[in-house]
A and B are shown apart, each in its own frame.
Chain A
């Protein structure tokens, strides 16, 4: 009897310990590692920092709900590319060579995504771009490349069809900063305006590039001033755009200033000074503050709770989108194999409710449907949507 009782106790103990240790093992399951390549340093560091914060918030939201693949947590591993093409390819290599990195969210700046996506493709890693809009990126027949942001040609069309009539503009000046994104947007815009130009409705009076490394743009701006445009469309990035708007106003350019989708964020307002930033327009992908779907509300709440503010550019939210999309694809397909994930993203994902609304990808990896609006900077530094319809 005694030994039976003892055996019972032992077996109960074993069972309890076993379950407990099983539980520990479940919680100890290896995390699913997702790489984030972004400009953590360099002139666009603000975008990298916001992307990191946004992705971490999204990962935390998924982990709080119990993770993916039956309880595995998501872990973010960051690689810095300083927004330089060469460093971009190296950062991609750095993520690829870490065997536990399943897929990557990659970077701000089309000219960095361009070489990096080739590296990911070569090593068969699914990579989703969040801030790279030039049209050609998805036109290269890549199998593992996707993007959650929109395309430049959509934006160019929007400028030509909505913004130009909105301001009733006749003379348009277009300036770019010689990066592939910026030149792309400028040229797509010129192409989109072609029918109106041929009809004699509008005229491009200025079309030139500046070097974003510079700090003094008075010469090109003086040339631009002499053409006396109604609308001045700048398709470059925020660090130099802040200087350009200031110098343009100081030498007496009074044209309506419209920026492309990389122009306005808090650094732009900081550099230009609110007295010049006020009244600047921008063709921009939808900003997070205007989303009201439950996913966006939850994201905003979590982000605000941690950082006390909201991301000031759309790109970092697209990075968070990319993470949600990857988590969903890995979870639903039940696999961390690149081919399975890529196949799921391309063929099976449809209207997945992500932070910036439903996500699906077309044949070449572009996001199906993304929204562009015209925004104006208010006197307090916030933005509001203009009714361009």
Chain B
């Protein structure tokens, strides 16, 4: 029982990373019907940005805000940086070719992914980097025999706050209603007086910003970051998006958390080596019985 609880917590932690990244995929797909393959690498870029901020700005940030304040500051700055990077990618890689169709944009997204990944390698070097323990303290907690790290709790709390905030923005505000309207039907939304350009700008800033924050948290939690990490996390998060129903924001959150927990339970009860098999088996089953994902709505085929 103890082990299951521990693993459930681990699964939720890793799941919240997936969920935060998945939100970026889902938001962009919802409005643009485009899979932003560069998203995973933006997440990795966030991780490196946070690394630089924490390692080189740590003394200043720690003096001003304290060690936890320093971390929050690093996350916020990384989020802003990645948000800007996201909008830049939209300008450079997607906007010039929207008119040609969706497929060229997907290829362009793959290109952007390669550019970012290699850019990271050129700037920070090919070796894996580590968030050092001077920057991120490691505190162990023992709650009723269950061993967890303080960082795990911090990650869970921050992730849920971020997801809650996004949920609130999308579901309860006028701006969120505009985003949902765009996701439903872009041209009609434009006719209703919604500024599509602004919506696209915010979608490409908000999604990557969340991914960037997830990147910093992955760095703080696991410590090791490498320039190729975006691919692995990106793939898992993309799977989570499909699982939850692509284009659906609560779906991405649930998909991510579910994927994390499934992965952990799969490796506890089946085998560590086959945990991905288990995860993708569940994905296939969901797609067979609910092709639109768990929370996805029916999309009428346009004839």
Contacts and interface: CB of A to CB of B under 8 A. Distances in A.
Nearest to A242: B224
A219 B218 CA distance: 18
B159 interface: no
Interface stretch (A143-151, A155-163, A203-211): A203-211
A271 B3 contact: no
Interface in B155-208: none
A213 B232 contact: yes
B95 interface: no
B272 interface: yes
A219 B260 CA distance: 12
B129 to A, nearest CB: 8
A271 B218 contact: no
A45 B223 contact: no
Contact of A222 (B7, B125, B149, B222): B7
A284 to B, nearest CB: 20
B127 A46 contact: yes
Given A42-B228, A215-B218, A242-B130, A273 B272 contact: no
Contacts of A267: 127-128, 130
Given A222-B7, A250-B138, A239 B128 contact: yes
Contacts of B6: 218, 222, 251
A246 to B, nearest CB: 7
A270 B226 contact: no
Interface string B204-234: 0000000000000010001110101100100
A242 B223 CA distance: 9
Contacts of A213: 232
A31 interface: no
Contact of B10 (A208, A218, A246): A218
Given A213-B232, A216-B10, A178 B128 contact: no
B273 A239 contact: no
A43 interface: yes
A223 B226 CA distance: 27
Contacts of B111: none
Interface residues of A, number: 34
Given A178-B273, A250-B149, A41 B132 contact: no
Secondary structure of the B contact surface, majority rule:
mixed
A45 B147 contact: no
Contact of B121 (A41, A242, A270): A41
A275 B226 CA distance: 22
B99 interface: no
Given A219-B10, A271-B128, A243 B224 contact: yes
B224 A216 contact: no
Interface string A254-281: 0000000000000100110111000000
B97 interface: no
A239 B130 CA distance: 10
A178 B276 CA distance: 15
Contacts of A226: 3
A237 B10 CA distance: 24
Contacts of B10: 216, 218-219
B110 to A, nearest CB: 19
B132 A270 contact: yes
B223 A273 contact: yes
Contacts of B138: 246, 250, 273
Interface string B248-274: 000000000000000010011000110
A220 interface: yes
A288 interface: no
Contact of B224 (A40, A208, A215): A215
B254 to A, nearest CB: 20
Interface in A178-234: 178, 208-211, 213, 215-216, 218-220, 222-223, 226
B272 A45 contact: no
A45 B227 CA distance: 11
A127 B64 CA distance: 57
A270 B222 CA distance: 12
B223 A211 contact: no
Interface string A27-62: 000000000000011110110010000000000000
A175 B223 CA distance: 21
Given A211-B272, A215-B218, A273-B132, A43 B7 contact: no
Given A45-B127, A219-B268, A242-B224, 19 more contacts: A45-B125, A45-B126, A46-B127, A208-B272, A209-B273, A210-B272, A215-B218, A219-B10, A220-B267, A222-B7, A242-B130, A243-B224, A246-B138, A246-B223, A250-B149, A267-B127, A267-B130, A271-B223, A271-B224
30 contacts: A43-B226, A43-B228, A49-B126, A49-B127, A209-B272, A209-B273, A215-B224, A215-B229, A219-B7, A219-B272, A222-B7, A226-B3, A239-B226, A242-B224, A243-B224, A246-B138, A246-B223, A250-B138, A252-B147, A267-B127, A267-B130, A270-B129, A270-B130, A270-B132, A271-B130, A273-B130, A273-B132, A273-B223, A274-B133, A275-B133
